[in-house]
Structure 1
Amino acid sequence: MLRRVATRRTAGVRLPIAVLAMTVLATLSGCGLLGGDDTTRSSGSTGSTGGVEKAKVKVGVLPVVDVAPFYRAIEQGYFKEQGLDVEPVVMASGAASIAAVLSGDVDIAFSSYPAPLLAQSKKIAEFKIVADALTAKPGHIVVVAPPNSPLKKPTDAPGKKIAITARNTMTDLAPMSVLKTQGVDYTQVEWREMSFAEMIPAMDRGEVDGAVVVEPWVTTAMKKLGAVPVFDGASGPTAEMPMSGYVAIGGSGKFATTSPNTVAAFQRALAKAQAEATDRTKVEPMFVKYAKIDQETAQLVTIATYSTSLEANRIQRVANLMSEFGVIKGNLDVSTMIPSSTSNK
């Protein structure tokens, strides 16, 4: 039976992830981050060299379309087939999810890639990418504007107020990359930080000229506001850009290092569900049930690509994008973040 999902809220979720994570580390220093691993051994996993080291696994997730296959894997019993008892813990934000995996409240955290990559570059912890989640397709991340907005095309962007979730995320990095490629001065855009839920009312009131939204908010903005696309955030240099994944903490005594069979079992179960995600009938019910999208909207949502393999060179594109815009200082080698037990296919 699917476990009841707990909702957790973390104070200060609007803080940049680096500041948040450093605060978490400072608060918990000396208290044994991710310590006290009460592992439960099981021989129930299949297709591995041994039983899983930890059968009970908590996974921090967000109520977004990216995690639809994760919930399908739970409902279809794919994790149980691998000897895992997976409990989803719904987080208030990506920052809260990262804080939870750092503190040990969860074993694995779902997140948009910029947050763990930035934290890794600052050596906050040894992050390991357990699984790739979603890769953007045209229509998944879009700069939209209300019909009466002066923002009609990319060249209109300088001087305009455009809503994003936070700086140094895919919501500003992707459009900046597209604008830069088109020779538009992205430094003159006035980025306004707010949640996706706040963006549609803000556009309606004229407080912003446009917004960078991802599905299902792209479809919702078009339905509720008659919003029109200005340009696609997954185009040109950001076409088929990896957007999100599942991460854990590695290092001495940490989950990603002490539980390689558990990680491999999680990967197999999730990959099975993500391979089925090309069938809309199998993911739309997850949109409605867990991302809280109405049935009509779920039928219109652009379904991006759910990855079935974990490839460092693909995710490296995100790190390179962050480095290009000065979010990461120097170069970050993503291959060091892939668990050694992972087989890239």
Structure 2
Amino acid sequence: MWIPMISATVALVTALSGCGALDGSSDNPSGGGSGTAGAVEKPKLKVGLLPVVDVAPLYQAVEKGYFKQENLDVEPIVVASGPKAVESVISGEIDIAFTSYPGAFLAQSKGAANLKIVADAYAARPGHLVLVATENSPIKRPEDAAGKKIAVTSKGSISDLGTMSVLSAQGVDISKIEWVQMPFPDMGPAMKNGNINGAVVAEPWVTRTAKENGAMPIVDVSSGPTADISMSGWAALDKLTSANPNTFAAFQRGLAKGVADVKKDRTALEPILTKFIKIDQVTAPLVTIADYPERADAVRLQRVADLMKEFNVIKDRLDVSKMLLEPAASK
């Protein structure tokens, strides 16, 4: 993905357990940033993200003023892909990147940057990330994918890696698949025109391509060997998080409140999907929602890095536990 993503996160590990919770509670819910250990060092944060359901908690936190309660001005900036967001973090154009985990892990593995996972964003559940095809496609079953053109937002992302993992488990020759990079909005028309044979799409595009282009599910990428795998997170440069600890603690607390809202109440989520993700009011109730984690599990995130090594995206094993930013202290 997104996944985007690879198109590619919300409480994090503690030093002892490998996981920890970000508690959105506060002794002073009216705001003022009193939850911080000190004044925020960097009151304005630019956050690069994609128009996918994963980012709904951040938009909720912006909409409800949870970041402002922490004396933060968070500006969401839509980018083309998770890898592009990571590139923009490295260049300093933005402060925090929403990305599918492979984008961050690849940059870390290659030494392009020293990154921290500030928070978790989304974890796989059935129906969120799906290989789909339209009626005119030669792909009717998973085994038909060999030798076909399949679109993903970026290569080496959770989209193609997860699809390869599931197809491999079903005996499909994945070496013959031709992966084609393109943005989510272009995938439905490209399938209808026959320019590609299938596409790996994340919600809301699973629902949109079905509704607008008649796309049908071929493979649920969030199944079998990739069931419940971590999908996406929020990443920043280690030097930035180290220099601004109060700022990032405040960001974690504000985001945690957004997560709590959308997890407990679908009616709180759907207006966010409509306003910010641009899903129409008729489609919003139909969109499959996976999981917005309250904590980032180092073991679950490690599965992503291990998948990357399995398919030779990275050469050596990456210990992702060292990348996790400790959670903000709750009040």
Q: Is 2:132–2:216's contact at 8 Å kept on the other side of the alignment?
A: yes
CA distance in 2, matches of 1:161, 1:60: 29
Q: CA RMSD in A?
A: 2.0
C-alpha change, 1:285 and 1:186, in structure 2 (3 Å) is same
TM-score when normalising by structure 2: 0.86
Instruction: Name the CA shift for 1:210/1:90 in 2 (closer, same or farther; >3 Å).
Output: closer
Q: Give the match for residue 273 of structure 1.
A: 258
Query: Is contact 1:155–1:184 with CA below 8 Å preserved after alignment?
Result: yes
Distance 1:116 1:173 in 2: 14
1:60 counterpart = 2:48 = yes
Counterpart for residue 236 of structure 1: 224
Give the Å deviation of 1:66. Answer: 1.3
Write the mapping of 1:20-99 to structure 2, written as runs, cut at 5 A: 44-99=32-87
CA contact under 8 A between 1:272 and 1:308: conserved in structure 2?
no
Q: Distance in 2 between matches of 1:335 and 1:70?
A: 23
SS of the residue 1:306 aligns to:
coil
Q: Equivalents in 2 of 1:102, 1:258: separation in Å? A: 15
Q: Among 104, 110, 115, which residue is 2:92 paired with?
A: 104
Separation of aligned partners in 1, 2:297 and 2:39? 25
Separation in structure 1 between the aligned mates of residue 209 and residue 297 of structure 2, nearest angstrom: 33
Question: 1:125 and 2:113 equivalent?
Answer: yes
Other structure's SS at 2:47 match:
strand
Give the 3-state SS of the residue equivalent to 1:45 in structure 2. Answer: coil
- Letter of the 1:227 counterpart: A
Q: 2:313 aligns with which of 327, 333, 342?
A: 327
Q: Report the secondary structure of 1:296's partner residue.
A: coil
Superposed CA offset, 1:85-127 (max 9, x none)? 2122222332332222112222211111111110000111110
User: Could you tell me which residue of structure 1 aligns to residue 303 of structure 2?
Assistant: 317
CA contact (8 A) 2:132 2:201 kept: yes
Structure 1 residue identity aligned to 2:276 = Y
**Does structure 2 conserve the Cα–Cα contact (< 8 Å) formed by 1:66 and 1:133?**
yes
Deviation at 1:342, TM superposition (A): 5.4
Deviation at 1:343, TM superposition (A): 7.2
Does the Cα contact within 8 Å between 1:248 and 1:256 map onto a contact in 2?
yes
**Matched position secondary structure for 1:152:** coil
Q: Which moved more, 1:110-119 or 1:144-153?
A: 144-153
Which one of the candidate residues 162, 165, 187 is aligned to 1:177?
165
- Measure how far apart 1:208 and its partner are: 2.0
1:258 pairs, out of 213, 233, 243, with 243
Equivalent residue for 1:138? 126
Mapped to 1, the partners of 2:183 and 2:329 lie a distance apart of 36
2:324 alignment partner in structure 1 = 338
1:142–1:230: 8 Å Cα contact kept in structure 2?
yes
Partner SS for 1:305: coil
Tell me by how many angstroms 1:49 deviates: 2.6
1:171–1:341 CA distance, 2 compared to 1 (3 A):
closer
Q: Secondary structure at the match of 2:89?
A: helix
The one-letter amino acid of 1:217's match is: W
In 2: Cα distance, 1:245 partner to 1:101 partner:
14
Partner of 1:299: 285
TM-score, normalization by structure 1: 0.82
Q: Is contact 2:47-2:77 (8 Å) kept?
A: yes
Is 1:308 paired with 2:303? no
Partner of 1:113: 101
User: Which residue identity does 1:56 align to in structure 2?
Assistant: K
Consecutive unaligned residues in structure 1, runs of 5 or more = 1-15, 18-42
Instruction: Write the distance in 1 (CA, Å) between the matches of 2:185 and 2:96.
Output: 26
CA-CA distance at 1:58 after TM superposition: 1.8
CA positional deviation for 1:341: 5.3
- In structure 2, the residue matched to 1:31 is none
User: Can you list the C-alpha shifts for 1:190-210, whole angstroms capped at 9, x where unaligned?
Assistant: 222222111111111122221
Shift of 1:340: 4.1
Structure 1 residues 187, 151: closer, same or farther in 2, change over 3 A? same
Please give the secondary structure, in 1, of the residue aligned with 2:282.
helix
Specify the SS of the correspondent of 1:176. Answer: helix
For structure 1, which segment, 159-168 or 237-246, has the greater mean C-alpha deviation from structure 2 after superposition? 159-168
- Aligned partners of 1:341, 1:240: CA distance in 2, in Å? 22
Distance (whole Å) between structure 2 residues aligned to residue 122 and residue 128 of structure 1: 15
1:189 is aligned to 2:173: no
Residue segments in structure 2 that go unaligned for 5+ positions in a row: 1-6, 9-30
For 1:340 and 1:66, locate their aligned partners in 2 and report how far apart those are by CA, in whole Å. Answer: 21
Percent of pairs with identical residues? 55
Distance 1:198 1:239, change over 3 A: same
Whole-angstrom CA distance in 2 between matches of 1:272 and 1:342: 12
Q: Which has the higher contact order (CA 8 A, sep 6+)?
A: 2
Separation in 2 of the partners of 1:343 and 1:120?
Answer: 26
How far did 1:161 drift? 2.0
Provide the C-alpha distance between the structure 2 equivalents of 1:292 and 1:246, rounded to a whole number of angstroms.
21
Q: Distance in 1 between matches of 2:178 and 2:97?
A: 31
